[in-house]
Structure 1
Amino acid sequence: MSFLYEQLPLAVQLRDDATFENFYAGGNGLAVNEISRQLQNGEPYIFLCGPSGSGRSHLLQAACHHADQQGHASVYLPLEELSHYPPEELFAGLAALPLVCLDNISQVLGDSRWEEALFHLFNQMREAGNCLLIAADKAVADLAISMPDLASRLGWGAFYQLKPLDDEQRIAVLKLRAERRGVELNDEVAQYIYKRCQRDMDALLKTLAQLDRASLQERRKLTIPFVKEALHW
């Protein structure tokens, strides 16, 4: 099972739907296949980068779900949510876990305490033979890293740059997730939701979840009139 800290916020917990099977690769198919393969083969370090909406967080959580299925402990840490914690305490003992996923590391870079803790965690995990999976919005060379040794370490290993989804691909994701929920979502309604909603995937999927709950409660299909009513549009 995933390693969870009781004192940490809900954001640390994995989303149930953030799996490899639920990931719409779009133009990232090769990268996703390679990440999955390298995790299977015990790659010690993988770095993902890509803009918001490219699926970084989904893939890190999917890696943890995959580890769970294999009976291995793992942890997912979104550092933008945890930057106020002492890094030495947050990282204590993590090197013993088969998989550690650190999301949005750019949020803590430039802080000497965090950079030193990241440097030591990297070295400890490598010595232990465990896997460290890191994601950021930029490539390592473009990150604001103050510690040269950390910059050097983060440049090791496998590197993948994720491309953001275009409008058509985001709509395809919306329809795929609706299908996985057992919700009938036709093209016309999907287009309507997409045009009215914020166009990042988190907002779209939260809207879909809200509509799914409303349709179950009202026992109604997703039509444009129902969507307008349920979302007060």
Structure 2
Amino acid sequence: MTQENMAIVEPQQQLTLSVAIRDDARFANYYAGPNEQVVHELQRQWTTHGEPFIFLWGANGVGCSHLLQAACHYAEGLGHQSVYLPLDELAEYSSAVLDSMEQLPLVALDNIQAVTGNPEWEEALFHLFNRIRDRQGHLLIAADNSPKSIGVNLPDLVSRLTWGMTYQVEPLEDEDKVQALLLRAKRRGLNMGDDVARFILTRGPRDMQGLFDLLDKLDQASLSAQRKLTIPFIKTELDW
């Protein structure tokens, strides 16, 4: 896991915030399924025909946070600096956290719904959008609902949220979830059969992040026990 440290200026004090970006949150281990167009547009953002502002929304667990962090890794790989800001973790701070962020080529704002309805944050977001546009920067936003349904009170901010492309990130069907588990296992160097992936899906969590967390747990358990990841081993380990 990589980290970026930012100095946040509060009245009469300065705080250092550590923002964690998952090292494994990359396009290479994201099974797109019905969201191939979303991944394509996020990568295309850096071409001359790409859209500099993209808004993603979807239910918890569909992968919006993964996509934003993957986009940051992708931009860094092209030589562009980026910053990932999970606003659900930053809402307790002053909106001054957004000051000067437009100086970076890519700003990724996750869980923006956590600060909507707050006049100070809405005003700060409005001005940040304008500054990013003036500098011809790139902006990614993710939320749990569409731009007009996340409780924004400032009309000008609503218009900014619909500047570019908006995509709903669709949940995966069960067969796609199996393929996503197999891809994640392969990327971890874990030998897992289709039957094992399907067994995990029938007994495990329904959301992908929950399934991936479970896979991580099983991977560690199999390494510790020096056992292959089989259905009998999973039954024993998880008491299923």
The normalised TM-score by structure 2 is 0.89
Q: Distance in 2 between matches of 1:94 and 1:232?
A: 48
Q: Which of these residues, 217, 231, 235, is aligned with residue 224 of structure 1? A: 231
1:147 aligns with 2:147: no
Task: Please give the alpha-carbon distance, in whole angstroms, between the structure 2 residues aligned to 1:112 and 1:15.
Answer: 31
Q: Which amino acid aligns with 2:71?
A: A
> Is the deviation greater in 30-39 or in 164-173?
30-39
Tell me if the contact between 1:3 and 1:74 (Cα under 8 Å) persists in the aligned partners. Answer: no
Structure with the largest fraction of strand:
2
Q: Counterpart of 1:58?
A: 66
Please state whether the residue corresponding to 2:180 is helix, strand or coil. Answer: helix
Segment drifting more, 157-166 vs 93-102: 157-166
Match of 2:119 in 1: 112
Residue range with higher mean Cα deviation, 177-186 or 33-42:
33-42
Structure 2: which amino acid aligns with 1:75?
V
Distance in 2, matches of 1:97 and 1:38, equals 15
User: Runs of 5+ in structure 2 lacking a partner?
Assistant: 8-15
Aligned positions, number: 230
Unaligned runs of 5+ in 1: none
Give the distance between the partners of 2:181 and 2:4, measured in 1 at CA.
30
Please, what TM-score do these two structures have when normalized by structure 1? 0.92
1:2–1:215 CA distance, 2 compared to 1 (3 A): closer
Aligned to 1:170: 177
By how many angstroms is 1:2 displaced?
A: 7.5
Q: 2:53 aligns with which of 45, 57, 60?
A: 45
The aligned counterpart of 1:91 is: 98
In 1, Cα distance between equivalents of 2:17 and 2:152:
26
Query: What does 1:208-223 align with in structure 2 at a 5 Å threshold?
Result: 208-223=215-230
Which residue is 2:21 aligned to?
A: 14
Q: Distance in 1 between matches of 2:157 and 2:120?
A: 12
Cα distance per residue 1:185-222 (max 9 Å; x no partner):
11222122222222111111111111111212222100
